[in-house]
Structure 1
Amino acid sequence: MSQIIEITAPPLPQYIISGSTHMSYGGKHLSRKNIGVFDLLVVSQGCLYVGEEKRNYEVSAGHALILRPDCYHYGFSGCKEETVHHWLHFQVSGNWRVIEQSEYCKQHSAQEGEEGAYMSLHPFTTTPFALAVPQFTYLPQLQKMIDTIDELTEMNRTSHHSSVRLKQQALFQDIVGLLAASLETAAPSPGSVCAEKAAAYLREHYREPFSAKRLGENINFHPVYIARCMQKVFGCSPAAYMLLIRIEHSKLLLVQTDMPIERIAEEVGFNHAAYFTACFTKQEGLSPRRFRQHFAWNRES
């Protein structure tokens, strides 16, 4: 039976930290008890075998599981293949509870009319509302979820700046929204499936020259349809999405290596360093060189 984590807001859930983990054959999730924070696990490759109290979950690619802060968690089996999962810790300062999905649906249906009447009588009163997210779910927009977690993780390097923390908290609400949306969607729409497949292909082949025709041939959708679906799901065209991926990878190389700018441009798929610099500057608001200097200074200070 599916379970729902129902969070009373305000206050809204708060992002803490995130990352990703690669597990080889036989690798297991850590055994922990009462860690004090929620732990969101999103599997993009393979399968993670995780138990919480007396419930065991096989979290295969495309699925998400939320581990609760007050329970015992354990890996009940080792991975049977290379497995990649993205994790995110968050905290809830207000009230929350766990409820069976069938019971939640009954209560939610009965309360809708009462809440509307209350709001009409008290138009200037701030009233709490319920955020409902499934504890274990299939994610119709897996790639969008992964992209958002990756963006949050990238921002951890400068999270000592209050402005960055504010951006992270705002971005985390998108994560909550994607989880809530998975509760309402029994199966992904054809457009969502197309966009996710296109995004996954582009993330894997970002070093190669972009070709709408080759993209369409590889995921078996017409290029025009792919562009329409990606615009709806990701808010950009396939070419623009690939450019964003290239920039994200270049940022990691700028911060983590001493490679020359020209070499980094080539490494992430740009034929000309000048074009890379122009795209990077337009996207980030500063040149690759200034970006590297800024983060090198932050690491030393």
Structure 2
Amino acid sequence: MPPVIEFTAPPLPHYITSGLSPLPIGGKHPSRKNIGAFDLLVVVRGCLYVEESGHKYEITEGHALILLPDSYHYSYEGCKEETLHYWTHFQILGEWRVVDEVEYHISHGRHPEGEQGYLSLPPFAVSSYTVALPQFTKLAQPQKMAEAINELNEMNRNIHLASVRLRQQTLFQEVIMLLSASLGADGPSPQSACAERAASYLREHYREPFSAIKLGEAINFHPVYIARCMQKVFGCSPSTYLLRLRIDQSKLLLIQTDLPVERVAEEVGFNLAAYFTASFTRFEGMSPRKYRQRFAWNKP
């Protein structure tokens, strides 16, 4: 079994930065030694081949690996297919250690947390607790994890604002919870599995007109159940999820291409440019043209 990273909170893990990296066939993750920060890798397509401390990991789609800050890691093999992965650097400012997963479960089984320890604390004392993260895992909710890190990336554009930095740290704790929830899980809950399948379908067909019936037929669930599951897992309906996805795709086109706004709207699945502009403004707080002007310096 892969190791478990166990840390004491507070303080909570601190987000540093993140990004999305495509790798061609033969591409490799950078080799590093003692970088001083944890490096979370989440693969959304393809496979990364990374070795750390004598352990070789094949990080395939929907899997995550945490590289340690005081170790040496390198790619022992190039990508065999085009690979896309998110990376996130973070720091644990408090105490942490790496333990064997079997040892972790045994120790926590013998010393269950109970109310008695809480009651023995002095009044107003801050009670610390431990959190465990799997160093290597199949994510219980890979789509939700990818969306959370993607949102962290988007916030980097306004990192100079203190309010944005606070929101980033808050959102990063959701990333930590998603990782922790994957520890020892036999698999996602039925609701999570349904929501993940629906999200995956929508990501593949976001340019097409939305149909709740067609979505239900594609993943073999009733549309009402799909809507209930997506609301629980993603906090929105399938149609709103699709709208957000189209807006995210349009932002890439606005920054990376010179396509007219009307063409951008068409490329991401909007039939009416006016509806695209209104939706974009509602989600982003500015029009598509202003968004392009503001972030033009990011254009490659």
Give the TM-score of the pair, scaled to structure 1: 0.92
Deviation for aligned residue 1:82: 2.4
Give, in whole Å, the separation in 2 of the partners of 1:31 and 1:294.
35
* Aligned counterpart, 2:132: 132
* Aligned counterpart, 1:62: 62
Deviation for aligned residue 1:119: 4.1
* Aligned counterpart, 1:172: 172
The amino acid that maps onto 1:228 is: R
Q: Within the alignment, does 1:204 sit opposite 2:195 as a pair?
A: no
Consecutive unaligned residues of structure 1, counting only runs of 5 or more, are: none
Residues 293, 84 of structure 1: alpha-carbon distance in 2 compared, 3 angstrom cutoff: closer
Partner-residue secondary structure (3-state), 1:102: helix
Give, in whole Å, the separation in 2 of the partners of 1:294 and 1:54.
46
Deviation per residue, 1:133-173 (Å, 9 max, x gap):
11011111000000111111111121122211111111100
* Aligned counterpart, 1:45: 45
Give, in whole Å, the separation in 2 of the partners of 1:6 and 1:48.
24
* Aligned counterpart, 1:12: 12
Out of 48-57 and 259-268, give the one that drifted further.
259-268
* Aligned counterpart, 1:278: 278
Consecutive unaligned residues of structure 2, counting only runs of 5 or more, are: none
Deviation for aligned residue 1:178: 0.1
Give, in whole Å, the separation in 2 of the partners of 1:116 and 1:252.
53
Deviation for aligned residue 1:194: 1.8
Partner-residue secondary structure (3-state), 1:197: helix
* Aligned counterpart, 1:288: 288
Deviation per residue, 1:21-42 (Å, 9 max, x gap):
2223222222211111101011
* Aligned counterpart, 1:261: 261
Q: Is contact 2:52-2:74 (8 Å) kept?
A: yes
Give the TM-score of the pair, scaled to structure 2: 0.92
* Aligned counterpart, 2:221: 221
The amino acid that maps onto 2:206 is: Y
Give, in whole Å, the separation in 2 of the partners of 1:82 and 1:291.
30
The amino acid that maps onto 1:103 is: E
Partner-residue secondary structure (3-state), 2:156: helix
Residues 132, 255 of structure 1: alpha-carbon distance in 2 compared, 3 angstrom cutoff: same
* Aligned counterpart, 1:192: 192
Residues 159, 256 of structure 1: alpha-carbon distance in 2 compared, 3 angstrom cutoff: farther
Q: Is contact 2:118-2:127 (8 Å) kept?
A: no
The amino acid that maps onto 1:135 is: Q
Out of 215-224 and 51-60, give the one that drifted further.
215-224
Partner-residue secondary structure (3-state), 1:112: coil
